[in-house]
Chain A
Amino acid sequence: MHKRPIFKFRLYVADDTQNSAQALVNLRAICRTHLAGRHEIEVVSVFRDPQRALTEDIRMTPTLLILAPAPVRRIVGNLGQTARVLELLDLDPQVT
């Protein structure tokens, strides 16, 4: 079994608005279940740090950037559909 990659996430949120809060909850749950011990989550508030959002062209919140493993992908939404998120992360739903 080859060395499994570490997942780096950056989640842009609009503070604790409903979608943003849900996204954070969903992301944490997925990481706990499927990426235990091999994930990093950075949360950025577009209100408190708009300059960063500006540089990264964040228009919709929540936006999740998957920085590693490459390539960088961005997912917009509250990440409510777990199966779809796993598919995008290229993870097997059966493997924990």
Chain B
Amino acid sequence: MSPPRSRVSIIKAVPKALTGIIGFDQITGGGLPRGRTTVLAGGPGCGKTIFALQFLVNGVQDYGESGLFVAFEEAPKRIAANAAAFGWNLHKLRHGKLLFMDAQPKIDLVQCGDFDLCGLLAMLEVHVKTHGTRRIVFDAFDIMVTLLPNAITKQREIYRLHEWLLAHDLTALITAKTSGDEPSSIVQPFGFMQFMVDCSVILNHGVVLGVSQRHLRVQKYRGSGFDENEAPFVIGKDGLDVAITRSMGHSDVKISNGRVTSGVKRLDAMLGGGYYRGASVLITGFPGTAKTTLSGAFAEAACGRGERTVFVSFDSDGSEVIRNLTSVGIRLQRYVKNGLLRMISARTLTGSAEALLVRVKALSQEHRARCVVIDPVSRFAKSGNELTAHGVAERLIDWSKADGITLVCTSLLDEMSDQTQGSTPLQISTMADTWVHLSYLVQAGERNRGISIMKSRGMAHSNQVRELVLSDAGVTLADIYTAEGAVLMGTLRWEKESAERVENEVAEIAGKLKRVRLNAEEAELQVRAKSLRTELIAKQVERTLLARTAGTRKDELSRTRVRRKELRGDHFPSLRRR
């Protein structure tokens, strides 16, 4: 069966008691076997006691099951003090029925002949009956076992304890030491316990290439399926954190179609609107190609929208990053002040890639971040071994997706790899949703930054290389000119641009001149039209006058004729004829 399928089909037949330990409950499909006994084996300092404590604390706090911690190795007071470091207030939990029993062997104890552990069981009986204990932990039980005089007695007493636990239906966890770092070699004759019990878990703390690595493995689990692989874990602020990638059955994450700006307008345009919300973005490039600047622009834009953001810098201190980004017009200081932005300098963080991831996760969750920048993510691979780093990158993306966080990672490209091929050490490039690549183009004695989108899932994106221009006004992208097959960038582009500018100016001035001339002509014509119109009116007046004079003369003539006739007396023509 393939690993993912086995993960899905974990049998849930055996009743289980949730431990509340992140990852462990998923590996076992529900926690430890309820009413049965589990052996937790591991070398010194691998986290057995913390695991056991966490099992009890969570039992009381979250599942309402009272617990009893039987301490064979450490005084309960010291355990309580250590537990406080994880934020577990054991004193308070006492009222919630988390009790401790000091079972350290007396120093002044003298042995004489065979003995058994009935006294212990009698004490436990009292405890369990009065407090209704459901979960019990025997921490460093091997200490007690080694006191027993011979192998037969040891075996007999372990059986006795096991029987007692089963009879009382207690979910028990027995921690035992392994010698050294070899995970499966529990000190004999304690080893047979692993055969006897129903579940066996092995913790392993080793050093690989000088880096501490912790692993957890379920060795056996009767009546249940489980994830058989070794899972890395870290001891974080809240106890154990077992790293698992989400199982197939739970992989449905709410996908967002929303876009968030990359902080650079024209890059958004190239991406057809920006990154997808909740996407994993990878920015690769050689040193000095402005990877940090680009991620800074994203952070500034995110804070500008009022989204809580975490900026993890592996290369330099947070304040240095802020100062350097200010020089290109990205001002993050104000967001640090108002609490939106949290700068994390991870330069000083040491540990395995797994530990780094857990810290980043914890800090981001604490900050309730919606956007996370990791600069550069390739540091994960350097500080541990490459074997686990790949898994870490997978889990990083997995986590950011599950939490709906928009993740921007920068990554230094392997110096050896081809610039155009651009493979990242973590293979994160295959997993990232959007991959922006920054490169240098050397031409005409200049280095210029080119930006291109290698891939961007689920969105149309430009296939063009643009020039990334940094100035104190901010980050901008410029078109690059292609002239006679050569790409023009930097000064060449500038020259081309200024030549064009001059041309434009000349044309503009010519246009202006023409406009002025036309205006003048128009004015002249208008003046002429006006004078003509005036002349016309004068002529018309003249003509009217002329007409009137003519009329008057005609009247005058006729009147003169009439008068003359009167005077001549021939206005009685009828009389005269008669």
Contacts and interface: CB of A to CB of B under 8 A. Distances in A.
B104 to A, nearest CB: 9
B536 to A, nearest CB: 134
Contact of A59 (B112, B113, B117, B126): B117
Interface residues of B, number: 24
Given A47-B122, A60-B119, A79 B103 contact: no
Contacts of B125: 47, 50
Interface in B102-158: 102-103, 105-106, 108-120, 122-123, 125-126, 144, 147, 149
Nearest to A46: B122
Contacts of A53: 119, 122-123
A85 B125 CA distance: 31
Contact of A14 (B103, B109, B116): B116
A74 B107 CA distance: 10
A12 B114 CA distance: 14
Interface residue SS majority, chain A: mixed
Contact of A61 (B102, B106, B116): B116
Interface in B535-574: none
Contacts of A79: 112-113
Interface string A71-96: 00111111111001100100000000
B123 A58 contact: yes
B112 A60 contact: no
Given A50-B122, A53-B122, A54-B123, A60 B114 contact: no
Contact of B112 (A46, A50, A84): A84
Contacts of B105: 59
Nearest to A15: B118
Contacts of B110: 73-76, 88
Most chain A beta-carbon neighbours within 10 Å: one of B109, B113, B125: B113
Contacts of A63: 115, 119
Contacts of B149: 77
B99 to A, nearest CB: 12
Interface in A20-44: 20, 22-23, 26
A73 B106 CA distance: 11
Contacts of B103: 59
B50 to A, nearest CB: 24
A76 B117 contact: no
A11 B312 CA distance: 65
Contacts of A23: 113
A76 B113 CA distance: 7
Interface in B188-241: none
A60 B116 contact: yes
Most chain A beta-carbon neighbours within 10 Å: one of B122, B125, B144, B149: B122
Contacts of A19: 113-116
Contacts of A20: 116, 118
Interface of B: 102-103, 105-106, 108-120, 122-123, 125-126, 144, 147, 149
Closest 5 CB pairs of A and B: A14-B118, A77-B113, A46-B122, A80-B113, A78-B113
8 contacts: A14-B118, A19-B115, A20-B118, A59-B117, A59-B123, A73-B108, A77-B113, A85-B112
